[in-house]
Structure 1
């Protein structure tokens, strides 16, 4: 565990280095984040644009992929006819496909298929569409796991009390799924903001994300500002995952508190 974390900590430390050296630490400083008038993340236009592009692509991917994934999870959970097994297996395909294969395939689809019949420019749109295609499976897995834990009892009880299937979905099932949906939002955001392969294949010019910028610049004239940029991306990803975990824990604690309260009320009635 320590061996895995050590390189990350070293890279973060370099981002706070006072000097430009990437091998000798010369004291703590925010120079590469704020103070350097040319090379800091705040003042370097290319670094700032890469960060904004990453945030834009990951946010759009999150907003598009999660609702589609939730709808697919609900549909697959209710589909019991012929072909349901194949559909469930197909939904796992992006998870087991090497990302470079997925990136090449998406590039060919956009270039050969859409390029001939639908005018499309490689950039933010293709990056979002590619990452949505790649990340929907994660949403389906998270939401279906929650659906399996909930079961059908709540929904059936609501319909027994007169609710229509749509009302049971809107007023009973979706609120119970809310923590899983929020977790899916955050997971997709973290996946999209960290992606390199798909974003690189579906970008031509002017749409560099943080991973692409780090890769291209590190081969030419690396500076600690790249480490600062990578640290900002890491903190953003960790914050998204941490927020998802916190919401899940709060929901579980709230349910446990409600269950304890119900047991206590029942015990008082028995007395």
Structure 2
């Protein structure tokens, strides 16, 4: 079974009755921290539970040490997934407003803990669901405690020290998921230092999508990423972004294209710049 899987709004609607189905609403906004919870309370896909990026899908920030969205401690994350009703045999559908950036973070966290089958991103997200005229609800489902368990896979991450040691070697292919103006340092609306990690290529996550906000085909994605890889193995690929969130969108898209799951630099740019000795381009 492929690691990265999409499900359409109509396909999800036909499966809402399945007892093993779990739906996580991952809507979030960087400039409005209450947006996700407020949007969920206003209306959500029937049966969905809300998973907040800050509260549920990130760990504690340590100023001057971590990035803006550090990985949660594995035991805390497992407890969160259990509280959201997840089991290891659950069929899990993840969605956000549409682009899939925050849903892809949840997908990556599940893969990191070993849940690599039966996990789907809703293609087009909540917007696609509403555009299809499908029902929504305001009530949260009854609390259900799952029995999810997992073990983090250290092969899926690289830390700043290890990445620093690889920058001048052919052993790493860095892709940055941020938009080109941020990559170039022309604008920086969030972090105190502008620019990018030396040697990185700009591969904006938004370009994994078509004009309607749906993922490109596997062939289109493979053509896109093959230009960046230039015949190099994904074993050397490292994805990063501002804080380790939208990079997961590129990792999901790579898997959709048929590549194996590559590494994430979880701290990303917001962690990289906490040490002034690290180079900036």
Taking structure 2 as the reference length, what is the TM-score of the superposition?
A: 0.26
Greater RCO structure (CA 8 Å; 6+ sep):
1
In proportion to residue count, which structure has more strand? Answer: 2
Work out which of the two has the higher radius of gyration on C-alpha atoms and give 1 or 2: 1
